């Protein structure tokens, strides 16, 4: 691999149609206070639809570094990073003709302290409302040392059908902000038993899911899907330029 080309290739390349599409920024998870795992989605192929044969992984602090110039899969783990230091991460994709443009850098990612761990389990999850196709739940956000010693990055509320696995297509989930305490889950199946749970994520990964609260969606009725009754139009007389009404 030509590592110089990874870092220096210009956006003014004369044959951009041959290269893969620009990758999206990778998702970053710390696996320790000195290492990270990056995961990403394969970008679009170029006009010639040539397969991607490798990726280059770059990371940035005050300068740009090459973590690897030849990664075959859509994930990569590497170490040697400094604890409590902020980094951003980029990708380039390569086919047998050209390198793509570098992805937009990931959001700044601060490596955790070596004393940090994953967040504690979220507690006090309860159902606020449960209909035929949606539910509202609430909980108490983690505070103090509950974050494991690293800031909470996001939370996830989930509705898991009883006896279903976590990867079932019937699982409904939504990502909410780090300090959120409520969430709405839509797209539930009527007349189904669910377990509702919440988990949180810091730089080291997801916490264990909270203790689940159980509930059953109700039977869908005709009133749930019936369109609202249209309102009668309100007729307002138009006014001419000289102030006289017409059409009333």
Tens digit of each residue's pLDDT (9 = 90 or more) over 86-138:
999 999 999 988 999 999 999 999 999 999 999 999 999 999 999 999 999 99
Please tell me whether residues 146 and 54 are part of one structural domain.
no
Residue 32 to residue 121: CA distance in whole angstroms = 20
Please tell me whether residues 74 and 154 are part of one structural domain.
no
Q: Which residue has the higher pLDDT, 230 or 166?
A: 166
Q: Does some domain include residue 172?
A: yes
Residue 212 to residue 157: CA distance in whole angstroms = 11
Q: Does some domain include residue 213?
A: yes
Residue 137 to residue 172: CA distance in whole angstroms = 13
User: What's the confidence (pLDDT) of residue 127?
Assistant: 95
Please tell me whether residues 88 and 150 are part of one structural domain.
no
Q: Does some domain include residue 244?
A: no
Q: Does some domain include residue 238?
A: no
pLDDT(163) > 90? no
Q: Does some domain include residue 184?
A: yes
User: What's the confidence (pLDDT) of residue 52?
Assistant: 93
Please tell me whether residues 162 and 210 are part of one structural domain.
yes
pLDDT(59) > 50? yes
Contacts of 67 (CB under 8 A, 6+ apart): 57, 58, 59, 76, 78
Please tell me whether residues 144 and 186 are part of one structural domain.
yes
From 81, 110, 139, give the residue that closes a domain: 110
User: What's the confidence (pLDDT) of residue 112?
Assistant: 92
pTM of the predicted structure, to 2 decimals: 0.65
Look up the CATH number of the domain holding residue 197.
2.60.40.10
- pLDDT, one tens digit per residue, over 71-95 is 999 999 999 999 999 999 999 999 9
Please tell me whether residues 106 and 13 are part of one structural domain.
yes
Q: How many domains does the chain have?
A: 2
Please tell me whether residues 139 and 99 are part of one structural domain.
no
Mean pLDDT of 12-28: 79
Please tell me whether residues 8 and 105 are part of one structural domain.
yes
pLDDT tier at 2, thresholds 50, 70, 90 = low
Please tell me whether residues 7 and 100 are part of one structural domain.
yes
pLDDT tier at 19, thresholds 50, 70, 90 = confident
Mean pLDDT of 163-177: 90
Q: Does some domain include residue 245?
A: no
Please tell me whether residues 162 and 128 are part of one structural domain.
yes
From 50, 79, 110, give the residue that closes a domain: 110
In the numeric block, which tokens belong to residue 67?
A: 């973590």
Mean pLDDT of 161-175: 90
Please tell me whether residues 26 and 105 are part of one structural domain.
yes
Using alpha carbons, list the distances in angstroms from residue 204 to 33, 37, 140, 188, 227: 8, 10, 21, 30, 47
Contacts of 95 (CB under 8 A, 6+ apart): 18, 19, 20, 45, 46, 50, 51, 52, 53
Angle at 28 between CA 147 and CA 115, to 5 degrees: 40
Mean pLDDT of 24-46: 93
Mean pLDDT of 159-172: 89
Please tell me whether residues 100 and 130 are part of one structural domain.
no
pLDDT tier at 63, thresholds 50, 70, 90 = confident
Range of the domain at 19: 3-110
User: What's the confidence (pLDDT) of residue 23?
Assistant: 94
Q: Does some domain include residue 55?
A: yes
- pLDDT, one tens digit per residue, over 172-221 is 999 999 999 999 999 999 999 999 999 999 989 999 999 999 999 988 77
State the average pLDDT for the chain. Answer: 85
From 80, 110, 140, give the residue that closes a domain: 110
Q: Does some domain include residue 232?
A: no
């Amino acid at each position: 691999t030509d590592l110089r080309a990874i870092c220096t290739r210009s956006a003014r390349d004369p044959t951009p149609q041959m290269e893969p599409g620009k990758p999206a920024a990778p998702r970053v998870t710390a696996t320790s206070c000195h290492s990270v795992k990056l995961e990403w989605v394969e970008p679009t192929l170029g006009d010639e639809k040539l397969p991607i044969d490798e990726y280059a992984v770059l990371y940035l602090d005050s300068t740009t570094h090459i973590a690897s110039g030849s990664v075959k899969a859509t994930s990569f783990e590497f170490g040697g990073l400094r604890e409590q230091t902020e980094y951003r991460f980029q990708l380039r994709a390569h086919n047998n003709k050209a390198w793509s443009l570098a992805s937009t850098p990931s959001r700044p990612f601060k490596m955790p302290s070596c004393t940090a761990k994953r967040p504690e389990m979220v507690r006090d999850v309860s159902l606020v409302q449960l209909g035929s196709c949606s539910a509202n739940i609430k909980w108490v956000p983690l505070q103090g040392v509950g974050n494991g010693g690293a800031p909470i990055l996001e939370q996830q509320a989930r509705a898991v059908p009883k006896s279903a696995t976590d990867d079932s297509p019937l699982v409904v989930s939504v990502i909410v902000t780090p300090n959120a305490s409520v969430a709405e889950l839509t797209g539930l199946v009527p007349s189904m038993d669910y377990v509702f749970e919440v988990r949180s994520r810091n730089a080291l990964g997801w916490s264990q899911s909270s203790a689940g609260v159980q509930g059953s969606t109700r039977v869908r009725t005709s009133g749930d899907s019936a369109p609202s009754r249209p309102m009668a139009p309100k007729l307002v007389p138009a006014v001419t330029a000289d102030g006289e009404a017409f059409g009333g």
